[in-house]
Amino acid sequence: MRLKDTVQKEDFKIMVVDDEQGIIDSLSMFLNKYTLKGYTDPLEAIEVLKTEHYDLLILDFLMMPIHGDKVVEEIRKFNQSLYILLLTGHKDLAPPLETIKRLDIQGYCEKSSRFDQLILLVESGLKSVTQMKIIADINQQLEEANAQLKDAYYGTIESLRLAVDAKDSYTRGHSDRVSYYSVMIGKQLGLSEEDLDTLKQGALFHDVGKIGIPDAILQKPGKLTDDEYDDIKNHPSIGAKILGPAKIFEPLIPMVLHHHERYDGRGYPGGLKGEEIPYFARIVCVADSFDAMTSDRAYRPRFTVVKALEEMESCKGTQFDPEMVDAFMIAMKNNKEQVIKDIGLEY
C-alpha cells in the first residue's frame, strides 16, 4: 500500500522555508494532506525549530539574510535527525556535494513550476522518517529490555554478595566499605564518573566468590592450615566464574579476579607484578586491605586507623602500588571527618 494512500494529515509536520511566499503557497496546495507551515524568514524558522517538532524541512538555498547551508549549520547544532530537502533555483547554484554530505542534507532538487520531483522526494523522505521512527522505537524497547536484564543480573549477584556477608558476622558490611574506600581513592586519582561507577560496582562484588568457600573456613577463629588457605585463595577465581557468563559484568571481572595480587608479584591467583595488575584491582587491593585491618576478625581484634595507615605505608612497593597508597593517604586526610561519620572509624 502506498504511503500517500495511508498517511493522515496529522501524521507528519512539514516546514517550508523560502523567501518567496509564492513558493510556500504553492507547496501548501500540493502538499495539503500534510500539516505544513511556511516561513519566509530563515532566522525565525531556526528559532521555531528549537522548540517545535517537525518531521521534514523543505529549505530554499539562496535566501537573505543567510543562505540555506548556513541555516542547516545552525539547525544541526541542536537537531541531528531532522530530514532536510534543499531547493535550488539552478543546479549550478547548489552548494558543493561535500557541504551537502557534511550537513547531512538528505536531498535537493531544482525549483520548477511543476512540483512532481519535489513531491516524490517528500514522500520518499517521509517514508524514511517513518522507518527511522520505527527503528528508534525498537532501539528504545531494546534499551529498556537490556536495562531490565541488567537489573535482574545485578539483583542476583547482589543477593550472593549479601549472602557472603551473612556467612560471617565479622566481615558484615565489608564489601560496602571497600567500595566506599575504592571510590574515595578513585576520586583522588581524578577518575571519570563512568570509571568511578565501574570501580564502585567491582569493589562491591570483589568477594562474591566467597559464596563457594565453606563456612568452617571463613569463620575459623584460629590460624588456617595450608589446605584451608589454598581454599580461601580460590575465591577470586570463583567470583570471576560467577560473573563471567554475563557480558555486563565484564569490566568488573579484573577487580574480582586480581584484588589479591601483590605489587611485588607474590600475590594470587596470577602472581602478577606491578603494572601487570589491572589498575582498578590495585585500588581495590588497598581499600580491601585497609578495611580488613580496621575490622575485627575471628582471630584478632581490629587495628587502630593510625596503625593500619602505618602498616600500609610500610608495605608500599611490596604489597601495594605506591600510587594507590599515596592517593588513599591524601583522601583519608582530606575526608577524615566524613569518613568518621560514614564508616564510624575511630582514630
Question: Is residue 33 flagged as an active site residue?
Answer: no
Contact 232, 224 (CB under 8 A): yes
Catalytic residue among 167, 187, 210, 336: 210
Phi-psi label, residue 246: left if phi above 0, alpha if psi -120 to 50, beta otherwise: beta
- Per the CB < 8 A criterion, the answer to whether 57 and 13 are in contact is no
The answer to whether the CB of 130 falls within 8 A of the CB of 12 is no
- DSSP character string of 99-117: HHHHTT--EEEE--S--HH
Give the strand pairing for 107-110 and 83-88.
Answer: parallel
How far apart are the C-alpha atoms of 90 and 327, rounded to whole Å? 66
Q: Are strands 35-39 and 13-17 parallel, antiparallel or unpaired?
A: parallel
Q: Does residue 3 contact residue 72 with C-beta atoms inside 8 Å?
A: no
Q: Is the N-terminal amide bond of 65 cis, ω within 30° of 0?
A: yes
Angle between helices 322-334 and 279-293 (to 10 degrees): 60
Work out the angle between the directed axes of helices 279-293 and 193-204 (0-180°, nearest 10): 50
Rounded-to-integer distance, Cα 134 and Cα 142, Å: 12
- Give the residue numbers marked as catalytic: 210
